[in-house]
Amino acid sequence: MSILADIPILSLIIWSPLLGFILILLLPRSRSGLLKGTAIAVSLVPLVLSMWLYADMGGDRNSSAYEEKVAWGDIPLNSEALNDPGIGVVFSMQYSLGVDGLSLPLVLLTALVTAMASFAAIHVKKRWKAFYCWFFLLELGMLGAFLARDLFLFFIFFEITLVAMYFLIGIWGYYNRERAANMFLLYNGIGSALMLIAFVMLTMTAGFRAEPGASGMQLIYSANYADIMHNLANPSAWVNVMPSEEAVNPFYMDSGMQWTTFILLFIAFGIKLPVFPFHTWMLKVHVEAPPAVVMIHSGILLKLGAYGLIRFGLTLFPEQYKDWSPLLAVLGVISLLYGAIIAFRQTEFKLMLAYSSVSHMGIVLIGLAALNELGYQGAVFQLVSHGVISALLFLIVGSLYERTRTTELQELGGLSRSMPFMSGVLLFAGLASLGLPGLSGFIGELLSLLGLFDTMEWVVAAAMLGIVLTAVYVLRGVLAITFGAIDEKHVTLRDARFIEALPMAVLVAVIVLLGCYPSLLTSMVEPGAAVLMEQLISARTGG
């Protein structure tokens, strides 16, 4: 076993952004160059640690070797309802972390996009110390959410991302930044409230295990993900956990409560994804947030919604998920077509990319609705691929805006003459977004649609129309910017500087690498996909 199994690598990944937070606080605010250089350097630390973990886990796939669990303390609960005074009941608070084939690719994506976004943050014009402090808190929250294996720990990290994003949008955004920040907080706050209700219901019904205590048997309740998943998958657990025939576990999650919890989670994470029609808040964020923040929001935070849908919806409630899979497929097609059609109508490039994100998240829903390994791998691949591609697109948009002060398509044109490198990268990113074979966007779309083809051919047929529309609006937007007549004031624009070209080149390389060698990702996702499919088969047969 590797040395990583003997050190708290997951905690190191999560808390390493605090190093940047502390260093930024210690540096003088007048030294903007030093602040930005330090932030870029520290942002590479989680990336290096994540790559190390990815390579190490890729060798044996033994994810249990990296688990971390620390008990924070026990809170005694009333045990009168158990009808057995010999049983103690406590609520156990835990710091529990874990990693698997679903979370690790998203952790690596988070570290990569955040590191590249730190380069884009060179365009920040004010309050650099405060910006980077919130920037590193945002990264900490995202990494923690993907690695948490305690429901309330996940909720805490999730809320950190909301608070950090609120200030990053509201202070450093564009003209309507305060309205965008408030809309972001309102929608995501509603989702958080629904998620918290669902987590409390899960914890107090399915989050139990029996263990010997100092004064007899103890019934321990916690928000531990593994305990909850085990109890939900084994209905007899509510009976077998009791140490005597007289004792009765009153906290039983019947079918109605399971459906209620599943729907609450579906809405909560559907808002975050976002699923149509919960997408309007996201459009404001994409348009008003600064480039570095939009890179993170589009590249990572939207994926947090899909992650929650898989982790807490598909995995914990396979039977309910199976029954809702046709609805999921319909919502996926609606999001795909709606986003593509509205994107085609846009004259503002950032807004076009915002609707494009809605459309591409529809592909994720289609893959998840397939209920097979192929569709699941396609959905996860699409999450990672879109995260990298959208980060690249918004990185370019930020650099263009700094030079032209506009992203209106009619005010841009012919930029390939003055900025050949940046225009070439923009064309590359557009081709990756529309799913050109050989690039990462093609793999996710192909696997997702193939996964659903055997069961819902009509959905795949409708989705193909959306993919054709994607090619139309992407080429329309990209060609309008790179070719055509050039405005006189844009003739002397400077092409990408090294500090801009470097992250662009890195993201381009990742897109090509995943497109040519998709097994780098699919081999990591495959073992977890097989386990999930076994759960779904069991749910189908009632076994």
DSSP track, 166-192: HHHHHHHS-TTHHHHHHHHHHHHHHHH
Work out the pLDDT band at 231, boundaries 50, 70, 90: confident
Which pLDDT score, from 0 to 100, does residue 363 have? 94
Average pLDDT over residues 326-334: 93
Q: How confident is the model at residue 391 (pLDDT cuts 50, 70, 90)?
A: very high
Q: What local confidence, expressed as pLDDT, does residue 541 receive?
A: 52
Within 10 angstroms of residue 504's Cβ, the number of other Cβ atoms is 24
**DSSP code, position 158:** H
Region of poorest pLDDT, from 59-63, 412-416, 425-429, 465-469: 59-63
H or E segment at 210? strand 208-213
pLDDT of residue 521 exceeding 60: yes
Distance CA 516, CA 518 (A): 6
Say what the pLDDT of residue 28 is. 87
Q: Under 8 Å CB-to-CB from 256, ≥6 apart: which residues?
A: none
pLDDT of 302 higher than 80: yes
Picking from 25-34, 74-83, 126-135, which range would have the lowest pLDDT averaged per residue?
Answer: 74-83
Helix (H, G, I), strand (E, B) or coil at 330: helix
pLDDT for the residue 185: 93
CA distance 465 to 22: 50
DSSP string, 71-100: EEEEEEE--GGGT-TT-EEEEEEEEEE---
What are the helix (H) ranges across 436-518? Answer: 440-453, 457-482, 498-516
What is the reported pLDDT for 123?
84
Calculate mean pLDDT across residues 168-175: 92
Query: Does residue 297 contact residue 388 with C-beta atoms inside 8 Å?
Result: no
In the predicted structure, residue 83 carries a pLDDT above the cut 90: no
Comparing 122 with 220, the larger pLDDT belongs to 122
DSSP 8-state symbol, 275: P
DSSP3 helix / strand / coil % (the chain, rounded to 5) = 75, 5, 20
Query: Is the pLDDT assigned to residue 60 strictly greater than 70?
Result: no
Rounded mean pLDDT, 111-124: 93
Q: Within 10 A of 134 (CB to CB), how many other CB atoms are there?
A: 21
Q: Give me the mean pLDDT over the 168-193 stretch.
A: 93
Q: Nearest Cα to 254, choosing from 268, 277, 238, 276?
A: 238
pLDDT exceeds cutoff 70 at 539: no
Strand partners, 125: none
What predicted TM-score, i.e. pTM, was given to this entire model? Answer: 0.94
| pLDDT of amino acid 526 | 86
What residues have CB less than 8 Å from 201, skipping those under 6 apart? 253, 257, 260, 261, 264
For residues 139 and 422, give the distance between their C-alpha atoms in angstroms, rounded to a whole number.
Answer: 27
Using only C-alpha atoms, what is the Rg of the chain?
Answer: 24
Task: List 408's β-bridge partners, or say none.
Answer: 348
Task: Read off the pLDDT band of 13 (50, 70, 90).
Answer: very high
What number is the average pLDDT over the span 470-496? 86
Amino acid at 336: L
Please determine, for residue 247, whether its predicted confidence score (pLDDT) is greater than 60.
no
Q: What is the pLDDT of residue 79?
A: 58
Tell me the C-alpha distance between 138 and 158, whole Å: 9
Residue 281's H or E segment, with its range, is: helix 280-288
User: Are 123 and 290 contacting, i.e. CB atoms less than 8 angstroms apart?
Assistant: yes
For 375-395, give the DSSP string. HHHHHHHHHHHHHHHHHHHHH
Residue 297: pLDDT over 70: yes
Q: What is the mean pLDDT of residues 87-101?
A: 84
User: Does residue 61 register a pLDDT over 60?
Assistant: no
CA 195-199-205 angle, to 5 degrees, is 145
Please compute the mean of the pLDDT values over residues 142-166 and round it to a whole number: 96
More confident residue, 227 or 388: 388
Is 340 a residue whose pLDDT tops 60? yes
pLDDT greater at residue 56 or residue 539: 56
pLDDT of residue 5: 67
Task: Give the residue, 496 or 79, on which the prediction is more confident.
Answer: 496
In angstroms, the CA 403 to CA 314 distance is: 45
Q: Check whether 237 has a pLDDT greater than 70.
A: no
Helix axes 349-369, 280-288, angle to 10 degrees: 140
Cβ atoms of 213 and 88 closer than 8 Å: yes
Neighbours of 439 (CB within 10 A): 23
Q: Report helix angle 177-206 to 151-172, nearest 10.
A: 180
Residue range 3-12: mean pLDDT, rounded:
84
- Lowest average pLDDT, out of 2-11, 38-47, 316-325, goes to 2-11
pLDDT at 442 over 90: yes
Q: Which of 82-91, 117-126, 404-413, 467-476 has the highest mean pLDDT?
A: 467-476
Provide the pLDDT for residue 367. Answer: 93
Q: What is the pLDDT of residue 250?
A: 54
162 with 170: CB under 8 angstroms?
A: no
pLDDT at position 162 over 70: yes
Give percent above pLDDT 70 in the chain.
90
Percent of the chain with pLDDT strictly greater than 90: 59
Per-residue 3-state assignment (H helix, E strand, C coil) for 495-523: CCCHHHHHHHHHHHHHHHHHHHCCHHHHH
User: What is the token pair recorded at 401?
Assistant: 């805006």
CB 51 within 8 A of CB 108: yes
Average pLDDT over residues 448-458: 88
| pLDDT for position 271 | 93
Task: Report the interhelical angle of 280-288 vs 151-172 (nearest 10°).
Answer: 50
Give the model's pLDDT for residue 74.
72
Residue 224, SS3 per DSSP: strand
Work out the pLDDT band at 88, boundaries 50, 70, 90.
Answer: low
- The position carrying tokens 């305060």 is 178
Quick check: 487 pLDDT over 80? no
Per-residue model confidence (pLDDT) at position 447: 94
Q: Does the pLDDT value for residue 140 go beyond 70?
A: yes
Give the model's pLDDT for residue 364: 95
**Residue 159 — pLDDT band, cuts 50, 70, 90?**
very high
Structure tokens at 43: 């942002």
Mean predicted lDDT score pLDDT of the chain:
88
The pLDDT value given to residue 80: 57
